[in-house]
Every structure is written in C-alpha cells, then in structure tokens.
C-alpha cells in the first residue's frame, strides 16, 4: 500500500531557469543533471528547473548571506547529503527510510551491481597480478644484476687486497734481499779476514815446522849433550816446544773448519737470494695479472650500473601504474563492500523474517506435540516399529499374556513417566550392539596390552635390580683394589705417612636407588710429620701429590693402553719428583704415558722427547729426540 503523485506531460511549459551565482561549491541546476528523452525535457525542466544542487550547507550561506529566501520566490537549494532549503527559508534535513518499492528495486539491482563490481574487481586483480608479476620479474632481474655487481665489487676488492698483499710481500722480500746482501758482504769480509788469518797461520805453521826441524836437530844434539846437562830441564824445554807446536796445529785446524763453515753459509745465502728473487718476479707477474683483472672488473661494473639504471627507469612507470591500479582496485573494493553491506542487510532482514516464521511454526508444532502427549493414553502399537527390536533366546517358549479389556488406574501417569524417562535417555541406535562389541573388543585388547606392559616393566625392574647388584659388587671390588693401591702409592710418593679413602652418603637424596655407585668419596691423608686431615686442608703441593697417588692407583687397578698427563708435576719439588718418576717408570710397563712437563727430573725418565720452540718469525717448531739412539758420553 502507498501513495503516488502523477503529472500529465502534455502541455507542460518549462519554468524559468534561475541565475546561478559564481561561487565555489555550486554544482548545477538539478534539471541539467538528469538525462532523459527530448519529449520529457519540458517536464524535467518544470519539476527540477528551480532546484539548485550544491556541495554542502556552507555554500547556501554564500548564496544567501543574510539567510533570507531566494528572490524568485520558488527556487530550492539541495545539498549532496539531502538537506533541502525551501523558498520560504525552511531547512529540511536528516535521513528517511527508503520506500518499500524503492527498497525492493534496490535489492533487485544489487546482485547485478555486485556482479559487475566483482567482475571489475577480478579484471583489476588480473591486471594487478600481471603488474605485480612484471614488477617481480624486474625486481628479480634487478636483484640478479645487483648480486652480480656485488660479486664484481667483491672480486675487485679481493683483487685489490691481493695486490696490496703482493706489494707488501715484495717490499718485505726486497728488504730481506737487501739484508741478505748486507750479510753476504759481511760474510765476504769475514772470509777475507779468515783467509788473511789462514795465510798468517800457514806462515806460522811453516815457522812451526821449521821450529820443529830445529827442535828435532836440537833434540838430537841435546841427546848427545844429555850426559852433560840436567835431564829434568831438557825434558821441560822439550815439552814446552811440543806444546807450542800442538797449539799451532790445533789453531790451524780450527781456522780451516771455520773457513769451510763460512763458505757453506755463503752458498746457502746465495741460494736464498736466488729464491727470493724468483719469488719477487712471480709476485710482480701476479700483481700485473691482478691489475688487469681489476680493470676488467671495473668495466663490468660500469656495464652493470648502466643496466641497473635502465631497469630502474623501466620499473618506475610500472610501479606508478601498479599504484594507480591498486587505488582503482581499492575504490572498487569499497563500492563492492558497500553493495555487499546492502545485500547483507537485505538478506539479514529476509533471514530474520524466515526465522521468525520458523520459530512460530516450531512453537505451533511443540504445542501440538504437548497437547498430543498430554491427551494420548496408551498408543503403543504405533511406536513399536520405531523401537529397537530385541531377539530373545527361546522366543517360541514365551507365554502369551492375556488380553486387557480396560486400562488400570494410574497406568496413564506411569506411561507419561516412562515416556519422559525414554526422552531423557534418547532414542536407541540400531548400531549400539555393534558399538558395544567393538568397545568391548578394544577394552580387552588394551587390557591385555596393559598386562603385557606391566609384565615387561616387572622384568625390566628385575634386570635393573640385577644390574645394580652386579655394579655394586664390581664397584666394591674395584674400590677396595684402588684403596689398597692408593695407600701404597701415597706412602711411596710422600716417603711415609698414610691415607685412606671412604664412601660417604650425600647430603641430599640423589643417591636413592643407586646403591654404592651413588655415594660420595672422602679422602683423609696424613703426610709425614702432620696430623690426619681432609684433602681440602692440605697444601697445593700435597693435594697435587695426593691426586697423583689416586691417579696411579686407578691406573694400577685398571690399566689403560696410554695416558696423557698435562703438567701434573708442576707443583712438586725436587725430592718429590724423584719418587714421582720412580712410580711412573713402574706404571710405564703396562701403560704408555704422554707427559707435558717443564721439569727436568720428569724429562729424564722419557724415552722420546719432543721440544716445541718458537723461532724469530713467530712459527712454532718441533724438535724430537729419541734417547735410546743417543750414545752415552764417557765421564
């Protein structure tokens, strides 16, 4: 139901157009904004020719600064938000509910508008996806070029570093070459001096030989005159002469050995000079190659930069187009969202109406069911096909009940109670028996599995108990052996005294169930001349010697193929080193020891010695010495 206004189009005359002032915010006359056929133009002009459309209400104040009515007396002003200023100066605004017919027309048009908007959105999404794919391709290409540029720059940097390193090596080698040449000059000067000394010694040797001949002739003459001269003075003079001759000969041999050594050194220096010169030549060649490589890399870098600039120029318009597509897509998404909201509101209204109808129908059905339940007496026959039919054993032997001619009193109340209980229990599913059998089978399976697990757990506990007992027995035997060996080694290393080990309970309960393996170890020692005290109260050297005694006791109780000791004798004095070395030599019959030490007394017990030293160039060198191959030096 509703009302409508009809206008006869025949004979309608156009109304006069109002004069539009030149002001910001005025859109146009409403008749000019309507598209229609020419035969309806006079009607549109008649109806909307005196209506001016503006953007907002503030524009009306610019048109009518004093707030009075329009001078024509029939011109209306309408804003975009629906506010109307009438010719009389009255203002009409607010929101009106759309008529039912218009609302229905909007609902019918909404699906088509939504489909058009969704199609446009899909088109824009496809264009956006294509633009994004193009941007991604350009971005990947840019990343590849950037990576290549980074690699080229890194290669150039590595080449520059290599060139600088090569130049530094060349400078170092040139300095070393100059130093070698200076050493060679000094060695040449020394050789000349030695040669001069050798010539002097040779002259001296000749003099000595002449002196020897003279001495021999003199000895012969002295033999003749021996009877006349005193024998003791002659022998003393002869001994002095022979001594001088032996010293001269020894000096000559020393000078010759020194000459040979210097000549060998000179040859080695010349070889080193040649080697350094060849290294310098190789480094110079490598430097030239690196310079060429740097120039090539610089050319590649310029090409990469140009390609990068070209790609950036291509990416800029693509990104601008992508941003424009995104803006257009957002606008369409807003329009589609608005259309969806309108459709959702319409659907919500329809859904609420359907729900209201459904609720009323459900209430009607519930009322009917309640009336039927309240008035129904014992209509059991109709419900039997819907109940679960049970099969009884010996069904043929069941005795038939007598027919009931009238309903007993209270049966109706009992039936309602039973039905209420049945409704509370719910309908019986035909699959309940199969579910019960499956559940019972699952229960039996899990019960058997649980029994197996309990049996396995009991077996594991028994095995654990047996292992604990075996470990306790072996631990006790080993502890007793180590304790006896510890007492013996303590007396041997300290030269007296006594010590013993004992097992103690820990302060917490962490050893529960672990047997003797969870107990703690306490050592009480009494060095010679002192009272018994715990290990913590001993001095540093005494603790170190006690620890060595315990280590030797463990090695004796359970020998190992080899053992590494790192400066365990650092805190031992000379007296204790001897006893330590003696015990170590006894254990070396069963175990091979590798000892790191600075103590000479410990080194004397070694069969092979490795010395590590650092030279002038900061490089560690290893020197080995096998003492079995060294010949003993006669005293």
Claim to verify: residue 240 and residue 269 sit in the same structural domain: yes
Q: pLDDT-based confidence at 1, cuts 50/70/90?
A: very low
Most confidently predicted of 1-5, 6-10, 169-173, 475-479:
475-479
| Mean of pLDDT values over 19-36 | 80
Claim to verify: residue 540 and residue 596 sit in the same structural domain: no
Which of the 8 DSSP states describes residue 72? T
CB 608 within 8 A of CB 624: yes
Q: Structural domain tally of the chain? A: 4
> In the predicted model, is pLDDT for residue 504 greater than 60?
yes
Q: pLDDT-based confidence at 11, cuts 50/70/90?
A: low
> In the predicted model, is pLDDT for residue 377 greater than 60?
no
Residue 435: inside a domain, yes or no?
no
User: Which pLDDT belongs to residue 200?
Assistant: 76
Q: pLDDT-based confidence at 385, cuts 50/70/90?
A: very low
| Mean of pLDDT values over 29-39 | 82
Task: Give per-residue pLDDT as tens, 564-604.
Answer: 989 888 888 887 888 888 888 888 888 899 999 888 888 88
| Mean of pLDDT values over 6-28 | 71
Q: Rounded distance, CA 225 to CA 240, Å?
A: 19
Q: Rounded distance, CA 310 to CA 142, Å?
A: 10
| Mean of pLDDT values over 431-455 | 89
What H or E segment, with its residue span, contains residue 441? helix 432-494
Task: Report the percentage of the chain scoring pLDDT > 70.
Answer: 80
User: Which pLDDT belongs to residue 524?
Assistant: 87
Most confidently predicted of 125-134, 293-302, 365-374:
125-134
Residue 179: inside a domain, yes or no?
yes
Q: pLDDT-based confidence at 376, cuts 50/70/90?
A: very low
Q: Rounded distance, CA 542 to CA 490, Å?
A: 10
Q: In this predicted structure, which of 111-115, 168-172, 232-236, 605-609 has the lowest mean pLDDT?
A: 232-236
Whole domain around residue 15: which residue ranges? 1-94
Residue 405: inside a domain, yes or no?
no
User: Which pLDDT belongs to residue 396?
Assistant: 52
The CATH code of the domain that includes 88 is 3.30.70.1620
Claim to verify: residue 523 and residue 584 sit in the same structural domain: no
| Mean of pLDDT values over 409-428 | 76
Which of the 8 DSSP states describes residue 255? H
User: Which pLDDT belongs to residue 447?
Assistant: 92
> In the predicted model, is pLDDT for residue 454 greater than 80?
yes
Separation of first and last alpha carbons in the chain: 142
Q: pLDDT-based confidence at 13, cuts 50/70/90?
A: low
User: Which pLDDT belongs to residue 309?
Assistant: 78
Look at residues 511, 101, 154 and name the one whose alpha carbon lies nearest to residue 304.
Answer: 154
Q: pLDDT-based confidence at 623, cuts 50/70/90?
A: confident
Q: Which value, to the nearest 10 degrees, does the dihedral of the CA atoms of residues 114, 120, 123, 127 take?
A: -130
User: Which pLDDT belongs to residue 495?
Assistant: 86
Task: Give per-residue pLDDT as tens, 288-329.
Answer: 887 787 777 777 777 777 777 777 777 778 778 778 877 877
> In the predicted model, is pLDDT for residue 337 greater than 70?
yes
Claim to verify: residue 303 and residue 252 sit in the same structural domain: yes
Q: Of 557, 575, 610, which residue sits at a domain end? A: 557
User: Which pLDDT belongs to residue 52?
Assistant: 85
Residue 294: inside a domain, yes or no?
yes
Task: Report the percentage of the chain scoring pLDDT > 90.
Answer: 4
| Mean of pLDDT values over 263-292 | 78
> In the predicted model, is pLDDT for residue 446 greater than 80?
yes
User: Which pLDDT belongs to residue 627?
Assistant: 64
User: Which pLDDT belongs to residue 283?
Assistant: 78
Claim to verify: residue 251 and residue 327 sit in the same structural domain: yes
Claim to verify: residue 466 and residue 572 sit in the same structural domain: no
Claim to verify: residue 82 and residue 126 sit in the same structural domain: no
Q: pLDDT-based confidence at 98, cuts 50/70/90?
A: very low
The CATH code of the domain that includes 462 is 3.40.50.300
SS (H, E, C) 367-412: HHHHHHHHHCCCCCCCCHHHCCCCCCCCHHHCCCCCCCCCCCCCHH
Claim to verify: residue 213 and residue 341 sit in the same structural domain: yes
CB 552 within 8 A of CB 587: yes
Cα of 198 vs its chain's centroid, Å? 75
Q: How do 592-596 and 562-566 pair as beta strands? A: parallel
User: Which pLDDT belongs to residue 381?
Assistant: 39
> In the predicted model, is pLDDT for residue 384 greater than 50?
no
Task: Give per-residue pLDDT as tens, 103-123.
Answer: 566 667 777 877 887 788 788
> What is the pLDDT of the chain when averaged over all its residues?
76
The CATH code of the domain that includes 206 is 1.10.287.950
User: Which pLDDT belongs to residue 105?
Assistant: 66
Q: Rounded distance, CA 15 to CA 230, Å?
A: 178
Claim to verify: residue 563 and residue 551 sit in the same structural domain: no
Q: Of 557, 577, 610, which residue sits at a domain end? A: 557
Q: Rounded distance, CA 13 to CA 45, Å?
A: 8
Residue 600: inside a domain, yes or no?
yes
Claim to verify: residue 633 and residue 501 sit in the same structural domain: no
Q: pLDDT-based confidence at 67, cuts 50/70/90?
A: very low
| Mean of pLDDT values over 114-143 | 79
Q: How do 84-85 and 498-504 pair as beta strands? A: unpaired
> In the predicted model, is pLDDT for residue 517 greater than 70?
no
Look at residues 503, 510, 513 and name the one whose alpha carbon lies nearest to residue 469.
Answer: 513
Claim to verify: residue 31 and residue 141 sit in the same structural domain: no
Alpha-helical segments (H) within 79-226:
100-224
User: Which pLDDT belongs to residue 382?
Assistant: 40
Claim to verify: residue 214 and residue 338 sit in the same structural domain: yes
């Amino acid at each position: 139901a509703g009302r409508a206004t009809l206008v006869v189009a025949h004979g309608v005359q156009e109304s006069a157009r109002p004069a539009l002032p030149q002001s910001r915010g005025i859109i146009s006359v409403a008749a000019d904004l309507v598209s229609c056929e020419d035969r309806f133009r006079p009607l549109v002009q008649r109806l909307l020719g005196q209506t001016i459309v503006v953007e907002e209400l503030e524009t009306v104040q610019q048109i009518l600064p004093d707030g009075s009515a329009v001078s024509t007396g029939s011109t209306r002003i309408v804003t975009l938000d629906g506010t109307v200023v009438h010719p009389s100066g009255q203002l009409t605004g607010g929101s009106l509910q759309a008529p039912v017919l218009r609302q229905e027309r909007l609902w019918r048009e909404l699906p088509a508008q939504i489909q058009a908007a969704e199609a446009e959105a899909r088109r824009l999404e496809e264009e956006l996806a294509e633009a994004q794919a193009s941007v991604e391709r350009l971005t990947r290409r840019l990343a590849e070029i950037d990576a290549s540029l980074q690699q080229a720059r890194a290669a150039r940097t590595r080449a520059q570093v290599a060139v600088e390193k090569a130049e530094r090596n060349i400078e170092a080698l040139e300095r070393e070459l100059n130093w070698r040449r200076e050493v060679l000059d000094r060695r040449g000067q020394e050789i000349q001096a030695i040669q001069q000394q050798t010539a002097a010694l040779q002259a001296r040797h000749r003099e000595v030989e002449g002196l020897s001949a003279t001495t021999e002739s003199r000895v012969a003459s002295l033999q003749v005159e021996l009877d006349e001269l005193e024998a003791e003075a002659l022998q003393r003079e002869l001994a002095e002469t022979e001594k001088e001759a032996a010293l001269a000969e020894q000096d000559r041999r020393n000078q010759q050995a020194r000459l040979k050594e210097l000549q060998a050194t000179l040859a080695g220096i010349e070889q080193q000079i040649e080697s350094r010169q060849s290294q310098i030549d190789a480094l110079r060649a490598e430097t030239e190659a690196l310079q060429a490589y740097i120039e090539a890399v610089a050319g590649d870098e310029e090409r990469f930069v140009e390609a990068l600039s070209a790609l950036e120029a291509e990416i800029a318009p693509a990104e601008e187009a992508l941003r424009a597509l995104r803006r257009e897509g957002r606008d369409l998404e807003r329009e589609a969202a608005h259309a969806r909201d309108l459709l959702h509101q319409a659907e919500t209204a329809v859904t609420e109406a359907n729900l209201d109808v459904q609720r009323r129908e459900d209430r009607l059905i519930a009322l009917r069911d309640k009336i039927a339940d309240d008035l129904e007496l014992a209509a059991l026959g109709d419900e039997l096909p819907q109940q679960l039919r049970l099969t009884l054993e010996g069904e043929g032997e069941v005795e038939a009940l007598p027919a009931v001619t009238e309903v007993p009193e209270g049966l109706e109340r009992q039936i309602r109670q039973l039905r209420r209980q049945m409704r509370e229990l719910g309908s019986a599913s035909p699959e309940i028996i199969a579910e019960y059998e499956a559940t019972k089978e699952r229960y039996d399976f899990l019960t058997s599995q649980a029994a197996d697990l309990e049996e396995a757990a009991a077996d594991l506990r028994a095995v654990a108990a047996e292992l604990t007992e075996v470990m306790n027995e072996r631990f006790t035997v080993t502890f007793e052996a180590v304790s006896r060996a510890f007492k013996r080694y303590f007396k041997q290393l300290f030269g007296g005294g006594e010590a013993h080990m004992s097992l103690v309970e820990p302060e917490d309960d962490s050893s529960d169930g672990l047997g003797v393996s969870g107990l703690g170890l306490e050592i009480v020692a009494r060095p010679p001349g002192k009272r018994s005290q715990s290990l913590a109260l001993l001095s540093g050297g005494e603790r170190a010697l006690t620890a060595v005694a315990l280590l030797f006791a463990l090695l004796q109780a359970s020998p190992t193929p080899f053992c590494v000791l790192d400066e365990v004798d650092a805190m031992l004095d000379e007296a204790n080193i001897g006893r330590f070395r003696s015990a170590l030599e006894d254990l070396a019959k069963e175990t091979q020891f590798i000892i790191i030490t600075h103590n000479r007394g410990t080194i004397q017990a070694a069969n092979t010695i490795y010395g590590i030293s650092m030279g002038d160039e900061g490089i560690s060198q290893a020197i080995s010495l096998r003492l079995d191959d060294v010949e003993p030096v006669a005293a």
